[in-house]
C-alpha cells in the first residue's frame, strides 16, 4: 500500500512542482517529461491509500514502491515514461 509519506518521497524525487489550488482537498503536483505534462495529487490523511498514483504516474504498484524506496531512480522512471508515450 502506498501512503502519504511514500507519495511525498516520490514527489521530491521526481522534482514535481506543487500547484496551489484554492479550496483543494488534496495537494496537487505537476511535472513534465519530453514536453508531456503529468499531474497527481497527494491526499492529506496520514493513512490514506494512494492507489490512484498507479494511473496518475503510469506505473504498477510494485514499481511505485521501488520509486518511493529509492531502488528506482528518477531517471529510470522518466525513461519508462518516454518509452510508454
Residue 77's pLDDT band, with cuts at 50, 70 and 90, is very high
What's the confidence (pLDDT) of residue 13? Answer: 96
Domains of the chain, by residue range, sit at: 4-84
Q: Please identify which residue in the block is written with the cell numbers 496518475.
A: 56
User: CB within 8 A of 42, min separation 6: which ones?
Assistant: 4, 7, 8, 11, 26, 27, 29, 50
Q: What is the mean pLDDT of the chain?
A: 90
Mean pLDDT of 28-40: 94
Write the DSSP symbol of residue 72: S
Is the distance from CB of 27 to CB of 18 less than 8 angstroms? yes
User: What pTM did the predictor assign?
Assistant: 0.88
Q: Please identify which residue in the block is written with the cell numbers 504498477.
A: 60
What's the confidence (pLDDT) of residue 46? Answer: 66
What's the confidence (pLDDT) of residue 1? Answer: 82
Amino acid at each position: 500500500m502506498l501512503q502519504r509519506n511514500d507519495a511525498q518521497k516520490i514527489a521530491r524525487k521526481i522534482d514535481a512542482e506543487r500547484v496551489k489550488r484554492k479550496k483543494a482537498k488534496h495537494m496537487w503536483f505537476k511535472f513534465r517529461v519530453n514536453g508531456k505534462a503529468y499531474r497527481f495529487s497527494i491526499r492529506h490523511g496520514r493513512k490514506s491509500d494512494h492507489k490512484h498514483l498507479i494511473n496518475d504516474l503510469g506505473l504498477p504498484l510494485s514499481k511505485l514502491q521501488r520509486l518511493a524506496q529509492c531502488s528506482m531512480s528518477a531517471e529510470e522512471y522518466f525513461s519508462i515514461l518516454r518509452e510508454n508515450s
